[in-house]
Structure 1
Amino acid sequence: MELAWYREHRMIVRLLAVVIPLLAAAGLYLIPDVVAKSAAALVLVLIVVAAASTGDRLSGMIAAVSAAVGFDFFLIQPYLTLRIDSAEDVELAVLLLLVGGAVSELASWGIRQSASATEQSGFVRGALESAALAAGSADEADALPRIAEAIGKVLRIEGITFEYGDHDAGAGVIQPDGTLRYQGKVLDVALAGLPHHPYAYTALPVARNGGQVGYFKISTPNQDIRPTREQLQVAVLLAGQWSLRVQAPRARGH
């Protein structure tokens, strides 16, 4: 897809990124009995993806913020105010902002990295599926393996799983900035690769309320896997969408 027009008219695109999510939220406010709150959130996420698909990362982020504000103002009680009384609604609004920002980054990253329009389309579809899962369209038990699969596609690694609890002290840990901390050192994974000893693995933590709920376990025994820092950052964004969804085993009744 040719993005030259968008690059030449970035100010217009960014203005639309502010206005369209607000207008969409206002329109959904007028039909509260037709569209459920969770479905309305996904509609706004789609608009964020459309903004990010222009190739301008800032437009996607602006759209994400605008969507979160519009969702709060028009679709969360008390209506037509930015006040939120329900803790559940606070989590939903924050989740929309996180998902919108993550999907924006995913779409932008996919467009920058894809070599063809088909690859771009497939990546955006994967981002949308991840956003829909994080927004609550699937049970946790069903969705987490699918998110693990999506992370595996980004890193080009098979067999990623989600584990509840804390990772082993000796595991490599992917940091939010896309670096890897392993054996007390920060490594450049593009040069050193992921830990690949038979009993070593890499953890992609999922935290909530300051504590680790679980982690995506990335095992690459005897494999020289060297994802880029950008790939790891996208993996972190995918995992981070679950910071408000994944519950600790005790909270889940186990």
Structure 2
Amino acid sequence: MRHLSADHVAFLVALVAPPAVAGVLVPFRDSLPNTSVALVLVVIVVAVAALGNRLAGALAAISAAVWFNFFFTQPYQRFTITRPADIQSALLLLIVGLAVSQLAARARKLKVVTITDADYLARIHDTAALAQNTRAPGTVVDHVTAQLTEVLHLRGCRFEYGTLTGHPPRLEQDGSVTWGRRRWDADRLGWPDTEVELRTFGNGRFYGRFMLKPTPGRVPPLQARLVAVTLADQAGSALDIAASDSGG
């Protein structure tokens, strides 16, 4: 009953909080950049997902995008957008909100602190913006490769398209590491002394894997590993969109 109650509260907050916060920020509309408003709304989405579940987080992301449109894109106080830059901002808010809400829901399920670090949010936002603005999925893959190297403090990282040779350790969707059929306690044992794969999917379809080369003695926290999984998912989405456009 406690979980049901929390979920019900989360759904209510998902509907009420975004318009309320957006309304409070309206007087500062002329001096506050839309990107700052969007980040504030993303934090609301994170809080809802951490309180409730994935569906509540998704609802909050949609609500945030709708009220961002209503209050902060011209013409104001109308559910229409006329400027391409505003359309892009609203879409990015929705994409980032959905991605971060899923990340927060994972963190809640694993009973760890929710991802609210500004650097992590900025990396997810930048990757979503790149995926939105480029038709070249390879550019997104290269960007994510660089992001993974920094987030996980790797010695190196490369992407293999559509291959599953060998049986290397694997970074899983929940941020854990498995090797063969066994769970590898990365927090206690450190990274395995070999490359670790992070598989990339788009719309359920396997497109390849990032091969992570750990730095000895450096163990990224669970939050960083969850961010890495989210970045890989964004690369998979870009590859899937490109495949759909080409009829593949």
Please classify the TM superposition score into its range, dividing by the shorter chain length: 0.5 to 0.7
| Residues 57, 104 of structure 1: 8 Å contact kept | yes
Q: How does 1:43-192 map to 2 (within 5 A)?
A: 46=39, 48-51=41-44, 57-58=50-51, 62=56, 64-68=58-62, 98-102=98-102, 108-111=114-117, 121-134=118-131, 136-138=132-134, 139-192=136-189
> CA offset at residue 23 of structure 1?
8.8
- 1:214–1:193 Cα change, 3 Å: same
The alignment partner of 1:196 has SS state of: coil
Aligned letter for 1:174? L
Q: CA RMSD in A?
A: 4.6
Between 1:99-108 and 1:176-185, the stretch displaced more is 99-108
> CA offset at residue 251 of structure 1?
6.9
- 1:110–1:149 Cα change, 3 Å: farther
The alignment partner of 1:109 has SS state of: coil
| Correspondence for 1:218 among 212, 215, 224 | 212
> CA offset at residue 214 of structure 1?
1.1
| Residues 45, 64 of structure 1: 8 Å contact kept | no
> CA offset at residue 108 of structure 1?
4.1
Percentage of identical aligned residues: 20
TM-score by length of 1: 0.57
The alignment partner of 1:145 has SS state of: helix
> CA offset at residue 148 of structure 1?
2.0
| Residues 46, 128 of structure 1: 8 Å contact kept | no
Give the gaps of 5 or more residues in structure 1: 1-11, 26-39, 81-91, 112-120
TM-score by length of 2: 0.58
The alignment partner of 1:240 has SS state of: helix
Aligned residues: 199
Work out whether 1:238 is the aligned partner of 2:231.
yes
Question: CA–CA distance in 1 between the matches of 2:49 and 2:204?
Answer: 32
